[in-house]
Structures are given as C-alpha cells and as structure tokens.
C-alpha cells in the first residue's frame, strides 16, 4: 500500500484548537462554558457515584436518564463532550473523565456492522489524540478506520451504512442503504490515512463523497436521507427516508450532516467542489421559507403541520459548528454571522435548560426519529456535543 503525503497531512486540530483554553471577552461563550460545566459536573458526579461507567444519551418521558451500551451509535458523543469541556476550560478535572469514558469504548475499534464507528471513535479517541496529545490513541483510530473501510462496496462506490438483512432495514427491501449521515464519518477515514500513511482510506472517503454528491441531492440542493444501491452493479435502486417526514422531504438533520460532511471533505482534500457543495446546501437551508426566524429548524423542512412541529436543536448545533469552519475558508460570505445567531438563540431559556434540569444535558428540544416514535422533543448527547464544538470554533476564530 502506498503512502499518501497530500493535503490530509494537516490535522484539523490546527484549524480550531490552537488556543488551548484561551480566555475570551465574549460573554456568550463564557456564560455557556459556566452553564455547561455546571450541567456536566452534575452529570458526571451522578455517574461516578454509581461506581459504574455509564454513557448518557437522552431522557425518558419521566425524566430519567437513558444510558447506552458502547455499540450504540451515539456512544462517542459523551466522552467527546468531556474532551471539549477540557479544551474550553483548561480545567484538569475533565481530562481524567474524558480518558475514562473514552477508553471504555476501546473494543468499538473492531465494530464492522454499521458505519457509525466514525462518530463513536472520532468524537472520543480522535479528540483525545488531537486535544491532549494522547499518542496511544493512534492505534485505535487506525484500527477503526480499517473496520469502517470493510463496509466499502467498490462497485457502488460507497461505504454501506446499515446491514440490510435484519430488522426494519430488511423490511424496506434495501440491498446497500447509504444514509447522508455517513458523510460525517468520512473524517475517520481521512484521519486513518493521515496517521498511517495508507492512502486506501482517503481514496474510499473521496469515492464515497463523490458518489453521494452525484446521487443523493435534488436540484434544489436538498438531500435524500437514504439512497439504496445495488452493491454488485452500482445501480441506484431507491431514494427514500428513514427519519424524515417523506421520501421527497428535506429532513433537517440530514441537511446539517451534509453541510458539515462536505465542509470536512474540503478540509482534508482541498478540492473546491466539496466547498461549493457545502455552499449550495447552505443556500437551501437559509433561504427555505419554512426556516424559523431564530434559525432553529423544524425537524423536517416539509413537515405537514408547521409551525406546530417540533424543532430539532441537534440539526442547528451541527449546522452552526460547520458554518464556523466554512468561515475559515470563505470569510466574506457571512457564515460566522449566521452561526453566531444560531448559538445566541440556543443560549436563551427557550432552548438551554436550567442547571440541574433536562437530565443534566445542556440543550432541550431535539428530535431523534419521529417516524420511529423515538426521542421526540428531548435532549440528545450529540446536540450538546456540536454545541460545545461550535463554542470552541467561535472562541478560536475570535481570539486567534
């Protein structure tokens, strides 16, 4: 296998984490840091007092906390938030906690039965490697990239998201379903090449991004949630949704995944077609007539009962974080202003919980999957994660 020595050799750490706990005069950032520290101190104290290693994802209707196993697709976000809190505060108490919850996920590096290993290892181990120079995490990241690449289907040119032979996926009649969420997980492949020198991971990531760009987007630059391929011929069999309102609707978090995913592809490749795709997605989102004035989207842009539909804060936090990165490439196009408005609105009592409430998560009003009747108008660990990441990116842009 050949060694790749191109643009992906530059870590994204250099883009967003150069200031390592630097103070900021922005009161919004400071206020949110204090709030997050208070919430997550309560959260981690509860876990530590239990004597177990627990991983919170959301809350039930009765307000009790839902803890998840390590193979849940969201298992990397809580440890990732510990790393982000350490970066935001430079308080030494967060690193041991980040290490503990991260290293509980060690065996995830061998997971091959779904694509979300990118979220799971990227948010936990990769953050530890970047932010705390945990060199021993390198092996885990590379092994995880190997596991993820096992899902590549060369004839279709994509990494398969879900196995299609069990559960509700099998009921849909899919052969090789690929969801837009998968764009987020390409970071693990790009980092696999950067850390190992093996260009295979990079090539898979680029092929997946190109195939998705070709088949997953409509003429208005919105994206489908699921595209099902024939793994042998590469033919597109179906374009559908699993978590959106309808096959032809624009599921809000899917648009956020796409915006963030193509922005990170530009980060690692320098190929302007990816940045242009992100710009097109931005135009779709922020010119949509159903986007509320506060920029916190309804769970689907085409949901039938707007304005009486749940908002999805997780879509907003992911979008804002991506926009701070887009600003570093296109500083004159107003992306930071948009992201600032989103974070400001999320910092109000309408979306940010009181300390000690909301299962000790930071933000309220996210949506997991309305079609599955799951996690509707609740906190979600990934909403918090991208909110904290957005705060870091905002801080670093304003203090560099």
Q: Kindly list the catalytic residues.
A: 116, 181
Six token digits for residue 83? 């790393």
Nearest Cα residue to 383 out of 358, 363, 397: 363
- d(CA 124, CA 128) in angstroms, rounded, equals 6
- d(CA 177, CA 239) in angstroms, rounded, equals 9
- d(CA 77, CA 9) in angstroms, rounded, equals 25
3-state SS, residue 198: strand
The H or E element that residue 169 is part of is helix 167-171
Q: How far is CA 353 from the centre of its chain?
A: 21
- d(CA 394, CA 389) in angstroms, rounded, equals 9
Q: How many CB atoms lie within 10 A of CB 319?
A: 28
Nearest Cα residue to 281 out of 216, 237, 235, 336: 216
Across-strand partners of 378? 366
Burial degree of 190 (CB within 10 A; 0-12, 13-18, 19+): buried
The H or E element that residue 237 is part of is strand 236-240
Across-strand partners of 58? 66
């Amino acid at each position: 296998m050949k060694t790749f020595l191109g643009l992906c050799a530059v870590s994204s750490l250099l883009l967003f984490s150069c200031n390592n706990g630097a103070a900021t005069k922005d009161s919004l950032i400071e206020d949110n840091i204090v709030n997050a520290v208070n919430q997550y101190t309560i959260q981690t104290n509860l876990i530590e007092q239990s004597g177990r290693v627990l991983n919170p994802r959301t809350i039930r209707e009765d307000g009790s906390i839902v803890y998840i196993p390590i193979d849940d697709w969201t298992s990397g976000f809580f440890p990732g938030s510990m790393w982000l809190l350490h970066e935001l505060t430079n308080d030494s108490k967060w690193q041991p906690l980040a290490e503990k919850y991260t290293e509980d996920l060690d065996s995830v590096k061998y997971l091959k039965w779904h694509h979300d290993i990118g979220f799971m290892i990227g948010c936990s181990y990769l953050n530890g490697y970047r932010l705390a120079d945990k060199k021993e995490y390198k092996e885990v990241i590379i092994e995880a990239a190997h596991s993820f690449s096992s899902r590549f289907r060369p004839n279709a040119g994509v990494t398969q998201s879900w196995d299609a032979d069990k559960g509700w996926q099998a009921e849909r009649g899919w052969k090789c379903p690929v969801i837009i969420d998968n764009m987020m997980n390409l970071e693990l492949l790009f980092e696999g090449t950067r850390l190992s020198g093996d260009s295979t991971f990079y090539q898979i990531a680029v092929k997946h991004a190109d195939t998705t760009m070709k088949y997953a987007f409509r003429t208005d630059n919105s994206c489908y949630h699921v595209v099902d391929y024939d793994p042998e011929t590469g033919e597109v069999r179906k374009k559908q949704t699993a978590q959106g309102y309808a096959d032809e609707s624009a599921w809000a978090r899917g648009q956020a995944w796409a915006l963030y995913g193509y922005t990170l592809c530009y980060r690692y490749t320098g190929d302007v077609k990816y940045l242009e795709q992100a710009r097109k997605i931005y135009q779709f989102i922020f010119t949509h007539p159903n986007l509320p004035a506060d920029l916190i989207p309804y769970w689907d842009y085409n949901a039938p009962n707007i304005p009486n539909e749940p908002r999805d804060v997780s879509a907003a936090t992911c979008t804002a974080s991506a926009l701070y990165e887009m600003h570093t490439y296109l500083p004159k196009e107003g992306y930071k202003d948009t992201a600032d408005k989103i974070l400001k609105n999320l910092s109000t009592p309408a979306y940010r919980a009181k300390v000690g409430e909301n299962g000790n998560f930071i933000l309220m009003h996210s949506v997991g999957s309305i079609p599955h009747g799951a996690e509707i108008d609740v906190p979600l660990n990934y909403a918090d994660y991208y909110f904290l990441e957005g705060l870091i990116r905002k801080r670093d842009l304003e203090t560099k």
